[in-house]
Amino acid sequence: MITKPKIILIGGGGHCRAVIDVIETENKYQIAGIVDIFEKIGEKILGYEIIASDKDIPELVEKYDFFFVTIGFIKSPKIRLKIFNELKKYNVKLPVIISPKAYVSVHSKIAEGTVIMHNVVVNANSKIGYNSIINTKALIEHDCNIGDNCHISTNSTINGDCNIGDECFIGSGVVTKQGINITSKVIIGAGAVVTKSINHEGVYIGNPAKKQNK
């Protein structure tokens, strides 16, 4: 019997539950425990115990080789990025997690720490950066570049030849026109249609997408 590598998940919220389902379906790793706030140690998430807080990471890296950031990204990726960078200092393994229910072209490239959720499509010659979330039913068409620490939300469509910068949040149901560029640290609200390149940070909503005034 082949023993699956043990993996530690960091972050015990809703995104963690979704990732657990993908890990179980992929069946490559054995979840050894979850890291969350100190007050939740001993609680269970979908049957897996919260065994430590983030202060215990230095001890955990001595025992385990594989880690995965399961903190979500809605308003900001700062916490995800902080934990990811901390783990990188310890030189642990941060795998790519891919649902077997997704289609990922063999001609695409996906960097470490990224999760590809159920029913995602990633087409040929597309690249996805590290520590990103490609959420349920998202479509990444051919020749796209998705930056680091991004969240491409449920049922969104990134059409061919698009470039999306680092730390971007693309809301549910967003559609981008082919060939556009979106700079880093942009939030696109749910259901928006992006018809032109976006060159400035900020929040964009509507059809066509326009920058939201503060």
Q: Look up tokens 């393994």; give the residue.
A: 93
Per cent of the chain over pLDDT 90 is 94
pTM of the model: 0.95
Distance in angstroms (rounded) separating the CA atoms of residues 190 and 206: 8
Give yes or no for residue 214 having a pLDDT over 70.
Answer: no
Distance in angstroms (rounded) separating the CA atoms of residues 187 and 44: 32
Amino acid at 38: F
Q: Which ranges in the chain are annotated with CATH 3.40.50.20?
A: 6-89
Q: Please report the pLDDT score of residue 73 as a whole number.
A: 86
Q: Could you tell me which CATH number the domain at 6-89 has?
A: 3.40.50.20
Q: Which ranges in the chain are annotated with CATH 2.160.10.10?
A: 99-204
Per cent of the chain over pLDDT 70 is 99
Q: Which CATH number fits domain 99-204: 3.40.50.150, 2.60.120.10, 3.40.50.10320, 2.160.10.10?
A: 2.160.10.10
